[in-house]
Structure 1
Amino acid sequence: MNKSEKAAIIEQVRAKAADASIVVVTDFKGMSVEELTALRVKIRQAGGEYYVVKNTLARIALSDTTHAVISENFKENCAIALGFSDPVAVAKAVSDFAKDSKLFAIRCGSLEGKALSQADVDALAKMPSKEQLIAQALGTMNQVPTGLVSLMANMVRPLLYALKDLESKKAA
């Protein structure tokens, strides 16, 4: 690989990492091509990308981004998973794959510049997704006016029953 190819790879990874909200460094030693392809598909479905890059090139590429805090973790065989829109979805995809595979492991991660350990990435994967959090917030916001309407209806209902009872007594 000549210098221009290396520079192109560095720029590509740097541009992707600058846009990424999460970067997860993984260990893939001994995995087959089919397993890596299945992992890439899972991560792509979660809104991310998975790259196997030489350690030196990855270190250089991440040095100018917010994810520079994990650059010292590039040793031996490793690759990076980048998440762009929903960091929880990418963390969940990587964590689930690590549970299923004996050869794949999570080393560390970076969430918008904050270093994450392997346990932190697993904890992030257990969080509800962005859509679920929005749905919970909207449900809570909708519950307040619904409860208020129900309370007002329950306050007026006994008065209506009393008036209806009084009307039936007067009619009799």
Structure 2
Amino acid sequence: MSNQDAKKAIVSEIAEKFSKAQTAVLVDYRGLNVEEVTEFRAIARELNVDYKIYKNSMMRFAVKETGYEGLLENLVGPSAIAFGYDDPVATAKIITEFAKKHKAMEIKAGMVDGKVLDKQGVMALAELPSREVLIAQVLGGLNAPISGLVNVLQGNIRGLVIALNQIKEQKEATA
């Protein structure tokens, strides 16, 4: 395999990851030591997040190929990228939390569902609750009116039972 073919393979690998990913976050990893990068990769792997370091030139070709030109201006200096395939919020959340603990990691930009985000957009995305929490909140909101209706109906039945019980007690007292 020639050097040119190897580069094309890397570009197509990056482009494929962009097409499959729900989220991608571009970071500057300068200043992180090997232990810290290994720690982050372990955390990322648990959440089905793929963290890789590619040459900026390879990422530029892939970004142009996939239509995420908004990321081009951020492909300067040492760059790594995390691709999230499941929960779009999880990728931004783990990177933001890791960057808070390790000041050497700096968020540059990101992509969510085909839209390019700047650093503030990625951080705002990280503030959102996870998918499971959002689903639970929606289901709780849908369940609340039904629960209220059940409580109202039970209140009427409870009142009827109390009234009947009082009538029974009065009849037993007079008999």
Q: What is the number of residues matched between the two proteins? A: 172
Query: Which runs of no fewer than 5 residues in structure 2 stay unpaired?
Result: none
Gaps of 5+ in 1: none
Q: Is the 8 A contact 1:47 1:89 kept in 2?
A: no
1:8: how far off? 1.0
* Structure 1 residues 66 and 128, CA gap change in structure 2 (3 angstroms): farther
Preserved contact between residue 46 and residue 93 of structure 1 (Cα < 8 Å): no
Q: In 1, distance between residues paired with 2:103 and 2:151?
A: 54
In structure 1, the residue matched to 2:157 is 156
1:130 counterpart = 2:136: no
Code of the aligned partner of 2:68:
H
TM alignment of 1:10-159, pairs within 5 A: 10-159=11-160
User: What per-residue deviation string (whole Å, max 9, x for no partner) do you get for residues 106-156 of structure 1?
Assistant: 011111222212122112112111111112222222333222111101122
Instruction: Report the aligned-residue RMSD.
Output: 1.6
TM-score (norm 2): 0.90
How far, CA to CA, are the matches of 2:31 and 2:122 in structure 1? 22
Inter-partner Cα distance in structure 2 for 1:39 and 1:68: 27
**Contact kept in structure 2, 1:69 and 1:113, CA below 8 Å:** no
C-alpha contact (below 8 Å) 1:67/1:112 kept by paired residues: no
- Structure 1 range deviating more: 27-36 or 6-15: 27-36
Q: 8 Å contact 1:17–1:67 — kept in the other structure? A: no
Question: Given residue 44 of structure 2, which amino acid in structure 1 is its aligned partner?
Answer: I
SS of the counterpart of 2:66?
A: coil
The aligned amino acid for 2:130 is S
CA contact 2:27–2:81 (8 Å) conserved in 1: yes
Give yes or no for contact 1:69–1:110 (8 Å, CA) kept in 2: no
Deviation at 1:52, TM superposition (A): 0.6
Secondary structure in 2 aligned to 1:158?
helix
| 2:92–2:122 CA contact under 8 A, matched in 1 | yes
Determine the C-alpha separation between the residues in 2 that align with 1:81 and 1:69.
17
Query: What amino acid sits opposite 1:98 in the alignment?
Result: A
Aligned equivalents of 1:71, 1:86: Cα separation in 2: 24
